[in-house]
């Protein structure tokens, strides 16, 4: 039977086999009788699966975090707003009627899942602002899962972009440089702060405003194949 892509799953669709990696497992607050699973397929698409009641222990026993499976016998149901964390229009209901067949470990199945905002959405939020953006998170908890520290949100968690406080101004005006990083494939532009600048060029970022950094950027050097040329410009001269 053909393996289905997560992106093509829809409400009340037939339960065609899917091959996934279990990225994360958690229980929603105040819902001890439910367990949620974040699943991602080889195309990088994610969906949330939920096991409830008598199905909960069966799913927890047969699905291990960071492992890969072929899943059949699920139901595509409407996503639950209270527990859903993804934008996919459906959740998967899994349980004793489902089959979980382990598949060979493969790097084709991503180890993480990030639902990044689209460039269009980012532009809608930030406009044409190319300055540094400070992101502040409140009321998060540090917990341990699978021997790794994670930040967990709570019902009091808020995310602020450039909050109006003195710390934001300090971070935005902190000494930094713009850099063009190139190799034999392409170039990228980056904003580097104190620690990164010192690691790359061996001087404090404050010295960027002096002529030392200009001389370093203009200096011609021969680098081994594993090193890359970095052209560094300070803010005053990047026009």
Query: What residues have CB less than 8 Å from 228, skipping those under 6 apart?
Result: 181, 182, 183
H-helix or E-strand spanning residue 199:
helix 194-201
CATH architecture of 6-102: Beta Barrel (2.40)
Contact 9, 2 (CB under 8 A): no
Contact 34, 21 (CB under 8 A): no
Residues 20, 91, 49, 12, CA torsion sign: negative
H-helix or E-strand spanning residue 177:
strand 177-182
Task: Report domain extents, the chain.
Answer: 6-102, 119-163, 174-237
Rounded to whole angstroms, the Cα distance separating 133 from 113 reads 23
Tally the residues of the chain: 239
Q: How far is CA 237 from the centre of its chain?
A: 34
Model confidence band, residue 70 (pLDDT cutoffs 50, 70, 90): very high
Task: Report which of residues 79 and 60 the model is more confident about.
Answer: 60
What pLDDT shows up at residue 90?
A: 92
pLDDT digits (tens, 9 = 90+) for 175-223: 667 778 788 777 877 777 766 777 777 766 666 555 555 665 666 767 6
């Amino acid at each position: 039977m053909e393996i289905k892509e997560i992106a093509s799953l829809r409400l009340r669709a037939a339960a065609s086999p899917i091959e996934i990696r279990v990225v994360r497992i958690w229980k929603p607050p105040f819902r001890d009788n439910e367990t949620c699973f974040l699943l991602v397929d080889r195309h990088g698409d994610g969906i949330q699966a939920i096991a409830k009641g008598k199905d909960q222990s069966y799913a927890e026993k047969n699905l291990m975090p960071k492992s890969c499976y072929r899943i059949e016998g699920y139901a595509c149901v409407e996503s639950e707003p209270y527990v859903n964390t993804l934008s996919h229009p459906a959740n998967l209901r899994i349980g004793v009627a489902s089959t979980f067949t382990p598949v060979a470990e493969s790097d084709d199945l991503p180890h993480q899942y990030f639902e990044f905002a689209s460039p269009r959405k980012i532009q809608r939020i930030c406009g044409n602002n190319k300055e540094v953006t400070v992101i502040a998170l409140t009321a998060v908890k540090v917990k341990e899962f699978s021997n790794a520290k994670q930040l967990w949100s709570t019902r009091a968690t808020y995310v602020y972009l450039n909050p109006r406080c003195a710390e934001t101004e300090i971070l935005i005006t902190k000494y930094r440089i713009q850099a063009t990083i190139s190799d034999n494939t392409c170039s990228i532009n980056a904003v580097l702060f104190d620690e990164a600048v010192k690691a790359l060029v061996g001087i404090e970022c404050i010295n960027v405003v002096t002529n030392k950094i200009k001389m370093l950027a203009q200096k011609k050097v021969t680098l081994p194949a594993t090193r890359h040329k970095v052209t560094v410009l300070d803010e005053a001269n990047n026009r």
